Structure 1
Amino acid sequence: MFQRQNCPSESRLNTRASVFDIYQPSRRGADTHTLLALLANPTAFGERAEIFGLTKPVVSAMRLILALSLLACVTFSLAEEPRRGRRRGVGPKQARKQTSVSALQLGGSPERNGQDGSVFRESYKNTKQPKANYDVTAGKTEHCVFRGITMYDQTVWSPKPCVNCLCSSGEVVCDQILCPALQCQLKFQRIGECCPICIDPVPVVDGPEYSGDSPVPNDLTELYTGTSQRQTDRKERQKKDEEERIRKKDAERKQRKKQKKEEAERQRKLKEAKDAREKEEEQRRLQEEEEERAAAEERKRRMEEQRKAEEDRARRLEVEQKEMLRALEEAAERAQEGLRGDEATEDEDMVWLRGDVFQMPPVPPTRAEGPPLSALQEPTEPDEEDTEPREEQPEVEEEESEMVTTLLPPGCSISDVTITCENAKLTGIPPLSIPELKSLSLQGNEIQTIPAGAFNGIPNLEWIDLGKNKILSSGIDPQAFKGLKFLSRLYMDGNLLEQIPSELPSTLQELKINENNLKEIEENSFEGLSSLVTLEMEGNLLSEGNVNPQAFKPLEELTYLRLSRNHFRTVPQGLPSSLLELYLENNLIEEISETAFNHTTNINVVVLRHNKLDESSIGPLAWINHRNLESIDLSHNNFYLVPSFLPKSLVHLVLAGNQIERIPGYVFAHMEPGLEYLYLSYNKLDGDGVEPESFFGTFNSMTELCLDHNQLTSIPMGINEMTTLHFLRLNNNKIRHVSEDAICDPLSDGDSHLVALRLENNLLDPRKIPPTAFSCVRSYSSVVLKPQRIK
């Protein structure tokens, strides 16, 4: 039921419009209750007028209009009181009917809803007053009845929060209130209100809804109290924020102080660790220097002993040579004396000249099969004296004279226990009967066959050289060498052999069959040659396809094998475990498998120059774990990089004549005790081809380093750290500058170690080389700088 002071009427509606028209320029978002309280209380107005921007005359007019409105409401209520019980109210359904046009006309949101359904509209404060479609005309009879209450036409009221109703031509139209868009940062929505309000720049205290029963001074007190409280809260909040900020700064300062302390402690520990490490390195360096000094003294002592031994041996050889010369001179003098003596004395001297070793038996020896002796002798014209019979000489003397003249074929010579018949045009083995003979050289003749028993007269031979003849495999009798029980060396180079001769003596230690036509090595080709140490078969037609892997099995003592200038594409299989040196140069080898040297664990030297190898064709495990392999020759192949996985024990590496462009880092680091000789001449190394770690692992072992005939533009890094380097070749490059520490370490106080240094044929200006650049060279005369190429 409506109270009198809140009775809706046209005058009140107009009053509200006028109030809000006046209020519109004032502060937006102010509380309506506060405004009404200020209008009702002039004293409060003087204290808070600046909030709303209102003057006293304006407020007086507003109070007058409000008083007239309230009087009209009281009169209307007294006139309508008797009819309230008889009138029928408007039902809820009819009250909730909505008209879109009315809603749009009313628009906006309520600022404060009263208990009687009256409404103060926010839209009057924030937007221009819309022109209504309905007219508030006095004397119009279309009234509305809502819940037993009669409403004048065009009356607006709010039956519940956030709902506005309009009496339009006897019909009640209601609609939801639309909240306006507020242009402020701080918003607040009170309890029971449907739209938020702005609370800046002057905060408004929330309180109970204003009504005629609530005293105005309470609202002002609450406003003042709320404002003061909020200011106090804001100050406290600012104070707390300031304290929090100070606390954070203190915490950050303490944290920085702690971090500085930790950093100082860490730096101190690092310095202590560094000092300890430097001290340890210094001790180790001193120990190494002491060891090197002791080793140098030991080497010096050994060299001195060796020098003395060499001097003693040289003196002995000199004495022996003098004695030999003296003996030869005495023999020559005796020979001249014998020529002046009689025939008997001459015969005795001749026998003495042959020596006891060549003392011939009184009976002529049985001649071996072969060409007649007359075919091996040059024809001689008989002397007139020889035609006459010499009956006075004994028959024995004639036989001895005949033996002396027919013992050696023309073109042959005898020295001690060696007979040499080189290039004597012999067509067969000469018939010799000298049991004491040890060596026989028949090189450079035209011998084609070796019959059985060809060496019966010289059974004690130890060395036979049959090289550069025309001997065929079919021309060698199987029993030709059987009787030679002491034969240790047999040379058959430069013949026409297609197979290994059979039935060779078991005492044979050296066999050379180079430059023949060997096409096959069978399983039993070396049967019985368990004492063979050296085997050479270079320049033949051998390959992995015609060499039986079991052929080398009987060679239990073989240490030296030469298979160069053949047709091998891989390393031959079945090599004996006793092998120490293997020569396979000038073949067609393209690959070294990981099993190639599995059985040759003692091998020491491998020569593979002039083949078709590259860095990718060597298996990683081919030889890296060999502990005795010290020398490898891979020159003149197809390498572009220094190959990896080289043997750990490698000392001597030859890679000259390849296309090497780079030395990878740490490629020598795994070697023990370290590489000593490295030859990289005639390659394509340039300024970027040598890395700082390329020579890592060789600084304490490298003795000879050859980098000549490359494309280097500067001294490679790491050379100045090689403390044992004796010979360095850098000639024929493109080096333009030599810095002070490129070759020698200026901080090193050790003795000069470089013996020879070659830098000729570069682009150097000798006048620009620092004076201390060669401080580690023993003698400046051993530094070769001229000539230089000027560009």
Structure 2
Amino acid sequence: MKKTALLYYLLFACLCIILAQNDGYKITRRGRRRMHYRGLRRGSLGNRRPRKQPQTKSPIPTTPVLKIPLINTDEDITEVIDSLVGLDGHESSYSVLPGKEGRCFANGIIMYDKAVWSPKPCVTCLCSKGKVLCDETLCRPLTCHRTKIPEGECCPVCTNIVLSSISLGDESEFSGDSPEPNDLSVIAKRKTHTPDERNVVFKKGELLENKKNIVKEKRKRNRVKSQEEEKKQGHENDQKDEELKKKIEEEKRRAYEEEELRIEEELNKQEEESQEKVTEHDENEDEDQEEEDILRGDVFRMPPRFPVPELFAEIPPLPTGCSILDNIASCINAKLTRIPPIMDAQLTSIEFVENSIAFIPDDAFNGIPNLERIDLRKNNISSSGIGPQAFKILKNLKRLYLDENSLAHIPPGLPSTLEELKINENQLHAIDEYSFQDLKNLVTLELEGNKLSEANVNPLAFQPLKSLSYLRLGRNKYRTIPQGLPHSIEELYLDNNQIEEITEMCFNRTKNLNIIVLRHNKLEESRIAPLAWINHENLESIDLSYNKLYHVPSYLPKSLLHLVLIGNQIDRIPGFVFGHMKPGLEYLYLSYNKLDDHSIDPVSFYGAYHSLREIFLDHNLLKSVPLGIAEMKSLTFLRLNNNKLRSVPTERICKTRFNHEDHEDDDDDESEEEHDYEDSQLEYLHLEYNYINTRDLSPYAFSCVRSYSSVILKPQLK
């Protein structure tokens, strides 16, 4: 009993000594407050000259803050936290205020135990039992190829993450190592103006710290519980696993929301109580008000409350066989049955070629609104599988490729920005006058390999296409030239149809035509109207190969440069047929016809001797080189192979000019004959597969050809 009494007596004596020492360090409330404000001024005003602080009885001792190893709440990263030594080039002045056990003194401000503040962006400090612990946010390395730093954040995040849904345990995946939404430094409010109000904030900090620990413990328990459940369900199918994960995530979210709601209620209650108590006023209200205004700047302001999004989720990865490179998503032959969900506003092109996609719903491109090019060739898309609003969101779309699908009609709702549309090899069997409505910027339109004809294509269908210059309608069922073509058309491809006639009215509205391709039809020269195209000033190329022509057509356009008549039954080139052309025909292809020695005479090429550059007369019935070839001064390419030629006279290909010089030395002197060949442009000559005996050829027969290696003579037939 005596020992116990003696122990109590000693403890009481020590307590009295400590209290006596603390009395020496007491500072008046007004003086302490001014010290706080002046310390804040030095931190907030930078270079402003500080006021002189009142002298105290003895200097305040300082306690250096050591480097303390900390383990974060997720138990996965161990960091050594420095005490912010060297911040802004000056050593930290954090210390423990004597006489106030457990509180901290940071840059002239008294911080209560468990108080949290942020002296710099991305740096969070905590007062713990008189010591200041600071934590600087460290960012995890990211593996994604595209990152950015969101406003108000410290660490970069992947840009392919969409704010749609997130689990409570996955916040760190969204923003690296940034503070969690329920962290004390994030949830604490900004209102910390007066000392009494700061007391409220510090109490809130203590409360929130406790609540934070509760939430973390719940998370750990939920995490352990979810891991155990996942192990139990490891051998079940994928569908059950997904349902289990969703259930666990929902429980986490509900627990988090309930805990946050309870914290909010307690904070509101604390605020109401503090507002009733704050009624005192200082003697110099104006000076205090000025200092408080400075305090409200950015020195003691707590981090803003982090807005908790409704749902966050990471977009599922692209399927196997897909990749993204240079803003192009490519899924070629990846066995896709639908367009995968992609959320990347920077993508400008997608390539889903050779898959099994059958549907394009209205929301197919919602996550990639800036697409400029879509390639969906070789799929199973039908007209009923395209939503009416599927393409409406694409305000920048310029190219759309839908070749080799199962479309019966032009897709609806195409954007007006479209410049190129390809729907080749489909099942199109009707085009009405509204199919191309609003496509005023369309330049290229390809509809080959369908079931179109003058019977199911409205004559007004092409009228909205004010900018159309390139139109392909090959491999369809047309029997006449389509009507209603726009004025802007420059290239028209109608090959592999059943066209039998070209009337005078066919090309009246298309004065800008430059190229017409009509090969593989059923045209005869007598069914081509004399005024069908003769006055066209821009028409330079006509392809009439593989029709039913027996003569080179008359009344060809004056501006024609390129004429292709391969694979007909032509046995005659009428005289002067090229005589009206200006500047003159340059390319004439007559391969695979029935031309013989009587089919061509010197006037057949009248008007083209000065302009012809290439002539193809191969695979015909010629037994000799046609007359007039040697007169063509611009000829560079001549094909006479696969005919029935037996000889090549000296002047049929290379024309010579003779100069005679008589030498009068004696009677035995003979005059020397010098062969001077006129300038020739001939570079390539084909004479193979004829019946020419090469030994009988004159040494001057090909002297005008620029290179002997360009003369093809072998093999020859016997």
TM-score bracket for this pair, using the shorter chain length: 0.5 to 0.7
Q: Which residue of 2 aligns with 1:787?
A: 715
Does residue 774 of the first structure (1) align with residue 567 of the second (2)? no
* Identity across the alignment (%): 59
Kindly provide the CA deviation profile for residues 68-103 of structure 1, in whole angstroms up to 9, marking residues without a partner as x: xxxxxxxxxxxxxxxxxxxxxxxxxxxxxxxxxxxx
Q: Which residue of 1 aligns with 2:386?
A: 476
Q: Which residue of 2 aligns with 1:599?
A: 509
What is the alpha-carbon distance in structure 2 between the residues aligned to residue 555 and residue 751 of structure 1? 50
Q: Secondary structure at the match of 1:742?
A: helix
Kindly provide the CA deviation profile for residues 358-401 of structure 1, in whole angstroms up to 9, marking residues without a partner as x: 9734963449xxxxxxxxxx989x9xxxxxxxxxxxxxxxx9xx
What is the alpha-carbon distance in structure 1 between the residues aligned to residue 432 and residue 693 of structure 2? 64
Contact 1:752 1:775 in 2 (8 A): no
- Matched residue type, 1:777: V
Q: How many positions carry a matched residue from both structures?
A: 425
Alpha carbons of 1:757 and 1:587: their partners in 2 closer, same or farther (altered >3 Å)?
same
Contact 1:674 1:701 in 2 (8 A): yes
* 1:328-407 aligned within 5 A: 348=141, 350-351=143-144, 353-354=145-146, 360-361=158-159, 364-366=162-164, 406-407=316-317
- Matched residue type, 1:727: F
Alpha carbons of 1:658 and 1:345: their partners in 2 closer, same or farther (altered >3 Å)?
farther
Contact 2:656 2:678 in 1 (8 A): no
Does residue 647 of the first structure (1) align with residue 647 of the second (2)? no
Alpha carbons of 1:650 and 1:365: their partners in 2 closer, same or farther (altered >3 Å)?
farther
Query: TM-score by structure 1 length?
Result: 0.51
Contact 2:161 2:313 in 1 (8 A): no
Does residue 547 of the first structure (1) align with residue 457 of the second (2)? yes
1:419 equivalent among 300, 309, 329? 329
Q: Secondary structure at the match of 1:561?
A: strand
* 1:105-144 aligned within 5 A: none
Alpha carbons of 1:501 and 1:754: their partners in 2 closer, same or farther (altered >3 Å)?
same
What's the CA shift for 1:698?
Answer: 1.1
What is the alpha-carbon distance in structure 1 between the residues aligned to residue 148 and residue 354 of structure 2? 30
Q: Which residue of 1 aligns with 2:431?
A: 521
What is the alpha-carbon distance in structure 1 between the residues aligned to residue 138 and residue 565 of structure 2? 68
Alpha carbons of 1:363 and 1:515: their partners in 2 closer, same or farther (altered >3 Å)?
closer
Contact 1:365 1:433 in 2 (8 A): no
Alpha carbons of 1:692 and 1:361: their partners in 2 closer, same or farther (altered >3 Å)?
closer
Q: Which residue of 2 aligns with 1:675?
A: 585
1:497 equivalent among 397, 400, 407? 407
What is the alpha-carbon distance in structure 2 between the residues aligned to residue 681 and residue 359 of structure 1? 66
Q: Which residue of 2 aligns with 1:726?
A: 636
Q: Which residue of 1 aligns with 2:518?
A: 608
* 1:109-508 aligned within 5 A: 348=141, 350-351=143-144, 353-354=145-146, 360-361=158-159, 364-366=162-164, 406-508=316-418
What is the alpha-carbon distance in structure 2 between the residues aligned to residue 787 and residue 417 of structure 1? 54
Q: Which residue of 2 aligns with 1:755?
A: 683
Q: Secondary structure at the match of 1:490?
A: strand
What is the alpha-carbon distance in structure 2 between the residues aligned to residue 708 and residue 489 of structure 1? 41
Alpha carbons of 1:585 and 1:669: their partners in 2 closer, same or farther (altered >3 Å)?
same
Kindly provide the CA deviation profile for residues 696-734 of structure 1, in whole angstroms up to 9, marking residues without a partner as x: 111111111111011101111111111011111000000
Q: Answer 1 or 2: which has greater helix percent.
A: 1
- For structure 1, which runs of at least 5 residues remain unmatched after alignment? 1-341, 368-377, 383-398
Does residue 638 of the first structure (1) align with residue 548 of the second (2)? yes
Q: Which residue of 2 aligns with 1:627?
A: 537
Contact 1:514 1:536 in 2 (8 A): yes
Contact 1:589 1:613 in 2 (8 A): yes
- For structure 2, which runs of at least 5 residues remain unmatched after alignment? 1-77, 80-136, 150-155, 166-236, 242-308, 658-675
- Matched residue type, 1:783: V
Q: Secondary structure at the match of 2:471?
A: strand
Contact 2:588 2:616 in 1 (8 A): yes
Q: Secondary structure at the match of 2:709?
A: helix
What is the alpha-carbon distance in structure 2 between the residues aligned to residue 345 and residue 564 of structure 1? 63
Greater C-alpha radius of gyration: 1
Q: What is the root-mean-square deviation of aligned Cα atoms in Å?
A: 3.1
What is the alpha-carbon distance in structure 2 between the residues aligned to residue 590 and residue 561 of structure 1? 20
Contact 2:420 2:442 in 1 (8 A): yes
Query: TM-score by structure 2 length?
Result: 0.56
Q: Secondary structure at the match of 1:406?
A: coil
Kindly provide the CA deviation profile for residues 407-435 of structure 1, in whole angstroms up to 9, marking residues without a partner as x: 31221111111011111111111111000
What's the CA shift for 1:349?
Answer: 5.5
What's the CA shift for 1:572?
Answer: 0.2
Q: Secondary structure at the match of 2:478?
A: coil
Q: Which residue of 2 aligns with 1:558?
A: 468
What's the CA shift for 1:632?
Answer: 0.7
Alpha carbons of 1:766 and 1:470: their partners in 2 closer, same or farther (altered >3 Å)?
same
What is the alpha-carbon distance in structure 2 between the residues aligned to residue 409 and residue 452 of structure 1? 21
Contact 1:524 1:551 in 2 (8 A): yes
Q: Secondary structure at the match of 2:345?
A: coil
Kindly provide the CA deviation profile for residues 434-491 of structure 1, in whole angstroms up to 9, marking residues without a partner as x: 0000000111111111111210100000000111111111111111100100000001
Alpha carbons of 1:674 and 1:431: their partners in 2 closer, same or farther (altered >3 Å)?
same
What is the alpha-carbon distance in structure 2 between the residues aligned to residue 685 and residue 359 of structure 1? 75
What is the alpha-carbon distance in structure 1 between the residues aligned to residue 379 and residue 323 of structure 2? 19
Alpha carbons of 1:366 and 1:699: their partners in 2 closer, same or farther (altered >3 Å)?
farther
What is the alpha-carbon distance in structure 2 between the residues aligned to residue 359 and residue 598 of structure 1? 61
What is the alpha-carbon distance in structure 1 between the residues aligned to residue 319 and residue 442 of structure 2? 32
Q: Which residue of 2 aligns with 1:717?
A: 627
What is the alpha-carbon distance in structure 2 between the residues aligned to residue 642 and residue 775 of structure 1? 32
What is the alpha-carbon distance in structure 1 between the residues aligned to residue 377 and residue 140 of structure 2? 37
- Matched residue type, 1:602: N
Q: Secondary structure at the match of 1:767?
A: helix
What is the alpha-carbon distance in structure 2 between the residues aligned to residue 362 and residue 408 of structure 1? 11
What is the alpha-carbon distance in structure 2 between the residues aligned to residue 743 and residue 755 of structure 1? 12
Q: Secondary structure at the match of 2:714?
A: coil
Q: Secondary structure at the match of 1:781?
A: helix
What is the alpha-carbon distance in structure 2 between the residues aligned to residue 648 and residue 599 of structure 1? 18
What is the alpha-carbon distance in structure 2 between the residues aligned to residue 473 and residue 569 of structure 1? 26
What's the CA shift for 1:554?
Answer: 0.5
Alpha carbons of 1:732 and 1:363: their partners in 2 closer, same or farther (altered >3 Å)?
closer
Does residue 567 of the first structure (1) align with residue 477 of the second (2)? yes
What is the alpha-carbon distance in structure 2 between the residues aligned to residue 617 and residue 365 of structure 1? 67
Contact 1:639 1:659 in 2 (8 A): yes
- Matched residue type, 1:350: T
What's the CA shift for 1:752?
Answer: 3.2
Q: Which residue of 2 aligns with 1:392?
A: none
- Matched residue type, 2:448: E
- Matched residue type, 1:765: N
What is the alpha-carbon distance in structure 2 between the residues aligned to residue 516 and residue 597 of structure 1? 27
What's the CA shift for 1:345?
Answer: 11
Alpha carbons of 1:345 and 1:646: their partners in 2 closer, same or farther (altered >3 Å)?
farther
Alpha carbons of 1:782 and 1:355: their partners in 2 closer, same or farther (altered >3 Å)?
farther
What is the alpha-carbon distance in structure 2 between the residues aligned to residue 664 and residue 366 of structure 1? 76
What's the CA shift for 1:350?
Answer: 1.9
What is the alpha-carbon distance in structure 1 between the residues aligned to residue 318 and residue 716 of structure 2? 61
- Matched residue type, 1:786: K
Q: Which residue of 2 aligns with 1:95?
A: none
Q: Which residue of 1 aligns with 2:200?
A: none
What is the alpha-carbon distance in structure 1 between the residues aligned to residue 647 and residue 138 of structure 2? 82
- Range that drifts further, 468-477 or 433-442: 468-477
Alpha carbons of 1:770 and 1:483: their partners in 2 closer, same or farther (altered >3 Å)?
same
Contact 1:746 1:772 in 2 (8 A): no
Alpha carbons of 1:451 and 1:733: their partners in 2 closer, same or farther (altered >3 Å)?
same
